[in-house]
Amino acid sequence: DTEVTQTPKHLVMGMTNKKSLKCEQHMGHRAMYWYKQKAKKPPELMFVYSYEKLSINESVPSRFSPECPNSSLLNLHLHALQPEDSALYLCASSQRRGGEQFFGPGTRLTVL
Amino acid sequence: AQSVTQPDIHITVSEGASLELRCNYSYGATPYLFWYVQSPGQGLQLLLKYFSGDTLVQGIKGFEAEFKRSQSSFNLRKPSVHWSDAAEYFCAVDTDRGSTLGRLYFGRGTQLTVWP
């Protein structure tokens, strides 16, 4: 299995909702990443987990809360988001930090 | 500070024509280098990578890239473009060369349009 899966594909939420994005990989990778991508822009790194420990938080607002329950799963919990948080959220994994990253298809998030 | 430059925001080519997408990086040492492709609303797919060794690397879908240390460049090429190659292309570098500090820095992307 050489893919990264993300659910849901699309998510529409209000500013008072709580929702979660899920990412899964079964390649035995020990580094996992969350990126945010706005239209016509490159992905922006949000969080990096290495061996299930948070190793990078790129000054992301606390309304985004990552979680890595085990080496295959990565969640992103969302609460009290703003309309400007609407974007494509991409998950990626790599064997370890550094080297090639494998990306999931993304979750298209719309905040109303 | 490290940076990745893709000077062309948008390139248009005719189907069957050759293609070259430019990428330059600013970093003291040789980083790990990557090209990714992204179709609309999709994730990023790795086309090819350079870690060391032969400076001409072959990738998927008929793409190749050449690393030129003297020019700090890693340009992507394809001899004959197909309509399905229309997409956004991102150059990326990992300046910590696969170490435990590694992370990717992306260029701003080049949008490729292919005319029939």
Q: Predicted confidence band at B27 (pLDDT cuts at 50, 70, 90)? A: confident
Mean pLDDT for all residues in chain A = 93
pLDDT of amino acid B95: 77
Q: Predicted confidence band at B42 (pLDDT cuts at 50, 70, 90)? A: confident
Q: Calculate how close chain A gets to B46, using CA atoms only, in Å.
A: 7
Q: Calculate how close chain A gets to B80, using CA atoms only, in Å.
A: 25
Q: Cα A10 to chain center, whole Å?
A: 13
Q: Predicted confidence band at A98 (pLDDT cuts at 50, 70, 90)? A: low
- CA torsion B104→A59→A106→B37, rounded to 10°? -30
- Chain A residues with CB-CB distance to B103 below 8 A: 45, 48, 56, 97-98
Per-residue model confidence as pLDDT tens digits over A36-78: 999 989 999 999 998 999 988 888 999 999 999 999 999 999 9
C-alpha R_g of chain A = 13
Residue of A46, A94, A97 to mutate when probing chain B, most B C-beta within 10 A: A97
pLDDT of amino acid A84: 96
Q: Calculate how close chain A gets to B14, using CA atoms only, in Å.
A: 22
Identity of the residue in A90, A98, A108 whose CB atom sits nearest the CB atom of B96: A98
Q: Predicted confidence band at B98 (pLDDT cuts at 50, 70, 90)? A: low
Asked if pLDDT for residue B2 goes beyond 80, the answer is no
Distances (CA, A) of A84 to A21, A37, A80, A106, B97: 17, 12, 12, 17, 34
Closest A-chain CA to B101: A97
